[in-house]
Amino acid sequence: MDNNINGVKAELEKLGFSFVDETTAYGRVPERGDINGYYIHVTIELNNFPLSQPSITLVKINGKDDLYRRIPINWRHLDEIININPKLSVFKICCLHNWSAKREYNGKYIYERIYDWLNSNVTSQWNPEEDLPSFRVLPQYTNSRLYLSDYFIAKLRENKPKILYQCNVYHEPYKFKSGAKASLQKQGEKYELTDIDFEKNFYHYIPDMPQEQKFEIIKKLRLGDKCAKSHFFVLRLPRHSRFKTFYQLLTIIRDNINIKNLSQEMKNIPFIVMYTGDKGKDEVVSFITNRGYVDGKSDYLVQPLAIESFSNRPIGVDLTVGLLGVGSLGSEVASLLVKKDTRKILLSDFDFLRADNIGRHVLGARYLGNKKSIALANELKINFFKFNALTAVTDEEAAEKADILVVTVGNNQSFDQLAFNKLWHYKKPVIWAWTSPNNILQEIVITTPSSGCLNCYYEKIKTDPVLKQIQQNAKDEIKKYPSEEVDVCGNPHTISQMERMVFLATQIVSILSYYSKHGKFKFDYVNYYWGMDDIIPTPHFGYLEAHPSCFCQGG
Amino acid sequence: MKASKYLSIVQKNPRYRVNYNPIYAILEGLYVQKSSEELQHKYLINEIINEELTKDFKIGGHPDYDYLLNEIKEEKDFYNENNQVANVKLCSLFIDLRNFTKRALFVQDPGIETIQEIAKLKQKAISTWIKLARYYQGHIHSITGDGLMVLIGGKKPEDEDEWTIGARAFLIALRVLESADFLNDELKQTLIEKGKESYATNSHNLLNIKVGIEYSPETLMNPQGVIVNINGEKKPVGEVKATAFEIDFSAKLLGYYNDAEKKLDGSPKYGRILLFGEKYKELMDFNDEIDVVYLSEYSRQMFDTTQTRKLYYMDCKELKYNIITLEDVAKKCNVYNASETAKNVSINIAREEKIQHG
């Protein structure tokens, strides 16, 4: 390590850098002259070099250190580290992409990357490899978070530029540096910015959006009933308003927007601002400023709020999937289908969540005694904001409305009722799945009007040499271990290996995903055999013909 | 919309549902493997092909009607209608390597290819097509100069539905056209290895395959040959042939290949054209997703009468590698499933009793 850093130091010194302390070099780029009239001074911090990427700070442009107003608006790949006063912001140069400890990443390399960064900025010609997506110049490092939705952003886009709109935003009551806590009766903007402790506390800001159910839910889950409220100003800047630093942004707002006549009761001013970003796309920033800034009586002070938004992902499984049985396996399938952004999931299960289900089901203890289908639908709706995607239904409704059914009911009798009675003449595909004790053998069978029936599969097991062998191997392996655990009442419960149950659920969802994309299946049945200590299952798949011995063929 | 019982055929014969292109299993073998799924599919397909090539496999005649030849005891028996079967529904598929004969002309000068290499190339093509034809349960009626004549249809359960006969012919045709890509890739590689890269980029030096199909709903299956006398015993020597205008018309179609090729956009142009007659067009009833192009008319005069048949072609560029199963073909045709649904029966579940849960 020492050799590494000493080599780098020597190279940097050769390039005109001097060391202000053991690990911090200070120097000029380019070493002599300028690029299109620009030269910069930087510091390069080599803490934990080479494992940690050197931190490069822009110190001066053309010999001047007032970077907060001097950085040209078209410069890119700069991070602003702000500490309440934007005049004191520190600007980090992002030019060492995908850093790792390599011998060729030496002092000369670091210098050349800084040189290239400056050259790209002053000529606006970026090498695509260096123009990687990066944080914008505005700061991201803060404990405070504002949650926005696509709907909110769309509404904001419709606002007239330069007009101040207002919205209520809920958040945790402020805590002060003095240790005191804000009153719930008083609006959040009525406190001095400098009194609020943003360093030791986490604040979550949730706009009041009654038309968006997800915001009502996160407000309830995150803030509860005892939350505070602030009036935020919402502003869209005209497309020609360009800035790079926070100071430049605040100056644009103060000089161009009518904010002089705000109520004197407002001691801090929260903003949500939409502007045109580097690449011509709309971007949004949020922050809280001090009153003095608005009145022009003091330095700008600013507390940035990081913005997080909920993605509106496209539908991943474009099907209505009916799940008959949402026990151990079915609930995992439902949970994955929600995460796969399935168009619609219909859940059917007459059973209630029992004590022995806990730890073997997606639902936890707070749903004990609840009907599994209803509780699961509610749980997944709320956790993943899928309000219209999940419905608890009966078997018949699921069969009627679904494009495809997944049957994971708990026992043979229930399977038989569905396979040879309720769904006997069913015209849509059905995925049947079950598992043995300890999940040693997991089986998925897909029946369609063009395949054999479930009983044809049972017949095939008797005649197909590979299937026969797999069943025998499984039988031998199952025998070696206890298959059931008995509760205090003496009731037996089949033992499951949950990681394998989740695996089986992933396979069912993969089959559904493929069917959604291609309208067909890759196979009609698949077996996964796991020896008790196996980590990787052995799969075997095949196609299911109508078996001549099966009763469906008159056999 | 045409009624078809194709689903009941698929239900009993899963090869028509196998969602993996058999051309990969035949030409890539088990050596090129991207995933365990692929490997299992290749095993499965090769198993089917191996079974087809061992079980009563023969070239010539038609296995469902070859018994007709055994009925022949004397010369006059060839003409006896009792020894013939009329109105057999067949698809006739004719495959030919285009401009292949000329390759042997250049063995000495410029001597890029040896005669052994040319023979090897042809053998590879012919054996691939035989395997493909058998995979889709077509019968090799004859091996011609540089090609093959395949009959699809007969007396087996899979031959019960006429649209399905046509769909199987379509699947064979697509696979055969795909084989041009594989064979040319290999040919190009050989030329490159010989340091003749420039020849590898010129399509005139590469292979092209012509494929024609016609549907013959009223075929006469009749034995043809002679009676020979072996040690005093009279025996028929010959084979059962399919006789109908449409059977031979699939070969005639190939004569229009150049006219169709001129109409193609883009390149390469090899392995794209499927030629077919009006009976096949009528049988398949392709929907709007398939661009069936009218090409020409075949017109002949005899007995003071003129008979004409229309010829069509389709560019299979976008269909190759995408149409794999019988149901894929059905999606491109105006056809609906008219298979009988399962009857109410007395239930007898074959599951071995075991604990299963979910």
Q: Are strands A342-348 and A282-290 parallel, antiparallel or unpaired?
A: unpaired
- The whole-angstrom distance between A442's CA and the closest CA on chain B is 9
Q: Is the CB of residue A208 less than 8 Å from the CB of residue A168?
A: yes
Percentage of chain A exceeding pLDDT 90:
76
Cβ-contact A43, A56 below 8 angstroms: yes
- Measured between beta carbons, which residues in chain B are less than 8 angstroms from residue A522? 19-20, 37
Q: Using CB atoms, pick whichever of B17, B44, B356 lies closest to residue A451.
A: B17
Taking the C-alpha atoms of residue A206 and residue B141, their distance in angstroms, rounded to an integer, is 76
- One-letter identity of residue B259: D
A399 to chain B, closest Cα gap in Å: 18
pLDDT (average), residues B20-30: 89
Which of the four pLDDT bands, split at 50, 70 and 90, describes residue B344? low
How far apart are alpha carbons A221 and B304 in whole angstroms?
Answer: 92
Residue A371, beta-bridge partner list: A352
Q: Is the pLDDT of residue A239 over 80?
A: yes
Query: How much is the pTM?
Result: 0.87
Residue B37: inside a domain, yes or no? Answer: no
DSSP A361: S
Contact A551 B347 (CB under 8 A): yes
Burial of B340 by CB count in 10 Å (0-12 exposed, 13-18 middle, 19+ buried)?
exposed
**In whole angstroms, how large is the CA radius of gyration of chain A?**
32
Give the integer Cα–Cα distance in Å for A305 and A141: 8
Better-scored residue on pLDDT, B357 or A535: A535
Closest by Cβ to A494, choosing from B10, B331, B357: B357
In a domain, B214, yes or no: yes
Residue B30 pLDDT class (50, 70, 90 cuts): low
Distance to chain B for A385, nearest Cα, Å: 27
How many domains is chain B built from? Answer: 1
| Domain range enclosing B107 | 2-17+56-337
Closest partner residue to A551 among B13, B36, B348, by Cβ? B348
Task: Write out pLDDT tens, residues B97-132.
Answer: 988 888 889 988 888 999 999 999 999 999 999 999
- How high is the pLDDT of residue A429? 97
Please, what is the Cα angle at A343 between A337 and A345, to 5 degrees?
55
Question: For residue A338, what are the contacts with CB-CB under 8 A and spacing of at least 6?
Answer: A345, A380, A384, A386, A389, A390
Chain B within 8 Å of A467 (Cβ-Cβ)?
no
The verdict on a CB contact (< 8 Å) between B351 and A521 is: no
Which residue is associated with the tokens 């006997």?
A: A424
pLDDT of residue B342: 54
- A210 falls in which pLDDT band (50, 70, 90)? confident
Q: Which chain B residues are Cβ-neighbours of A475 within 8 angstroms? A: 354
Report the gap between the CA of B128 and the closest CA in chain A (Å): 24
Per CATH, the number for A317-553 is: 3.40.50.720
Any A CB within 8 A of B338 CB: no
**Distance (Å) from the C-alpha of residue B6 to the closest C-alpha of chain A?**
9
Query: Between A128 and A14, where is the model more confident?
Result: A14
Tell me how far apart the alpha carbons of residues A532 and A477 are, in angstroms, rounded to a whole number: 7
Domain ranges for chain A, please list them: 2-123, 144-309, 317-553
CB B204 within 8 A of CB B265: no
B45 touches chain A (CB under 8 A): no
Contact A520 B327 (CB under 8 A): yes
Q: Could you tell me which of A419, A435, A427 has the C-alpha nearest to residue A333?
A: A435
Shortest alpha-carbon distance between residue B357 and chain A (Å): 5
B354 within some domain:
no
Residue B347 lies in a domain: no
Structure tokens at B292: 């069936």
Q: How far, in Å, CA of A77 to CA of A85, rounded?
A: 22
Nearest to A329 among B351, B352, B358 (CB): B358
B127 lies within 8 A of chain A by CB = no
B248 within domain boundaries? yes
Q: What is the average pLDDT across A411-437?
A: 92
Q: Say whether pLDDT at B188 is over 60.
A: yes
> Is a pLDDT exceeding 80 seen at residue A284?
yes
**Do residues A75 and A136 lie in contact, with contact meaning Cβ atoms separated by under 8 Å?**
no
Q: Where are the beta strands (DSSP E) in A317-371?
A: 317-324, 342-348
Q: Is residue B43 part of a domain?
A: no
Tell me the ipTM for this assembly: 0.85
Cβ of B36 under 8 Å from any chain A Cβ?
A: yes
Q: What is the pLDDT of residue B99?
A: 81
Write the CATH number for B10.
Answer: 3.30.70.1230
Find the mean pLDDT for residues A21-45. 96
> What's the pLDDT tens digit per position in A527-538?
999 999 999 999
Residue A436 at interface with chain B, using a CB cutoff of 8 Å:
yes
Euclidean distance between the first and final Cα of chain B, in Å? 42
The letter for the amino acid at B307 is Q
